[in-house]
Structure 1
Amino acid sequence: MTSLDDLPVRADLRGKSPYGAPQKSVPVALNVNENTHQIPEAVAHDIVQSLAVAVLGANRYPDREFAVLRDSLAGYLNRGLPEEQALTASNLWAANGSNEVLQQVLQAFGGPGRSLLSFDPTYSMYPLLADGTGTRWIGESRDADFELSPETAAVAVKRHDPDLVFLCSPNNPTGTPLSLDTVEAVYDATRGIVVVDEAYAEFAPDGTPSALTLLPGRERLLISRTMSKAFAFAGVRLGYLAAAPAVTDALRLVRLPYHLSALTQAAAVAALRHSEEMLAMVDDIRGQRDRIVTRLAELGYRPYRTESNFVLFGGVRDPHAVFEALLEQGILVRDLAIEGCLRVSAGTEAETTAFLDALAELDSTV
């Protein structure tokens, strides 16, 4: 039987591994930072009705420019922006998850002979997306406790002179918030594209400024978002970014024709109509996250600073053993191969309780 090694795969992809977060059927899955809350029933009914209307026109190609969706996304983001900084549909782009958005960014601005810099540990898809587009990956170090100061970031950018910089804010997998001062320092230090990945932005404390406020006058700055987390839309696959209109023009050069299905567009527009109801669960998730932080500290672990919907915690003597022991009890967390650390997503109150109780019981045996 032919194996991967027998095929004429690109030389730069040989020996690489695909993204592979564990997918296991367990009662309490807290390993991939999903929103474990279900979509409110009334909202779900409206989404289903919108899908039914879209299906009636599914014999035709969808709106290639997804104009209604882009307008809806602009309206959603503008709720947190001053009137003078308001975005329009021309500032918005969307694709099948933020991973596809970032891939399109690399297709347009990266590629052979170009480089992408970020700061490890960070989202594991960044180097994989770089590999897939033939972009050279540069992983630089963070400060202590996974923080990233403006000085550290600017020095690394000046040293490597990358074509693109990806900044994850809050950072995945550590949850570390990123200051706007750091974003500005990176932008001023580079000639290239700067992407701020705000996939978990909605979980930050109320009043936390978004990098969206830095967009005016910065043509090379792109802000990536997703509906997977706060909107509980992981299964729908809808990511988006805000940037100067010229950036969306560049992304049109590499997107596949009609890349967003009519069903995806309809579901996302319907969900955005109910953003207040959809985001109501965010407060509960933040509460469970803070509860995890407090209890982990009481148990003698070291939870790192987080403004996301998950907690990275150190002080784990044997992460693999703890991971396996929790899994035996039907609780799936994430072993990221960060020394002495595990990561857990904030779930519902019941899921969070199950994790904390199980960990407390294991504390004396593992």
Structure 2
Amino acid sequence: MGQKTTALKFVILLGFVSLCADATYEGARSITGAYLETLGASGTLVGLIAGFGELVGYGLRITIGYLSDRTHQYWSITTIGYFLNTAVVPLLALAARWEVAAGLMIAERTGKAIRTPPRDALLSHGVSQLGRGFGFGLHEAMDQTGAVMGPLAVAAVLYWQGGYQNGFVILIVPAISGLLLLLILRQLYPNPQDFEEETSVQHQEELPRVFWIYLGAVALVAAGYADFPLIAYHLQKQDIASGLIIPLIYALAMGIDAVAALIFGRLFDRNGISILMLAVLISCLFAPLVFSDNTNFTLAGMIFWGIGMGAQESILKATIAGLVPKCKRASAYGIFGAGYGLSWFLGSTLMGVLYDWSITFLIGFSVLSQLLAIPFLLWVKSQANTTTIND
């Protein structure tokens, strides 16, 4: 069996693990905003909880990334993270207060923080055989397939049985399935590092300057990207969609995300970081549409939201894999994730406050923040040669 075929199987199997995990926590996230509203939380609290969850989930990645590279226990740390990431989700069914639900939501984000840097480092070795944009795009497509399945399952439960609690309980099925597959995958591929050959860029001692410029650009995009719980809160509060329809809208966005990840990942392999700028120009249109009071506009906005998410998830990680030595890659993903998460937290918190004050200002902030990233991305393009990024 050729190295490329073996690597493809590794990426696909790891993609199935992510599919199960996403079905679990994205199924939950499709209703947590509306769930918090029923438990008495305000728009400001929803934005704060969602943003703080992302802050913890991304901020912790600096330590986890460094620990992963220092100990080389990539598989062990990944396994611990996946367990926490998915095991707490069904417990949301027992939450009787918004404070309890908020704590479980933050615990789920903590689990994702633990597993993501080492997982992405492992994945980066496999995708080196396939084309980084395509490889990360394929993984993201599978990831988001789960993100469609989870909300659909929750919507079905809400339809047949009613009550958000039942929606959380059903998610124990993908949670257990993903953990079992992860344990098998760990035995089949104990050393994914062997997929990737050393190149000249692998011997750099420090993270290159362009990495930090790139981080600044993506931080601006993250700050202007509304988390779905706030969107769900808006849909419920304005009576644009019912509790049953909201998960279906989220599933639509996740389906668009999956398709966009494959398309933009392949385009990245051919055209480089210019494709990310195109994705930003498309995604900045989501806020004026999503936060309207028209159902059709909301659906169109969620399509743009999904395109932006898919492009980000494939291109952002693929770019870093081409910039950073593999011995420091988990650390780089951790630092990058922390910067991204801090910006997401600040942006989500501000947008939650702006929602209670002025939706027009919320929309203006979202669009402007994303557009401000374009000059930084142009700077990255001018300083990083195409060979370094895409090799």
- TM-score, normalised to structure 1, is 0.30
Higher-Rg member (1/2): 1
Which of the pair is proportionally richer in helix? Answer: 2
Q: Identify, as 1 or 2, the structure richer in strand.
A: 1
Q: Which has the higher contact order (CA 8 A, sep 6+)?
A: 2
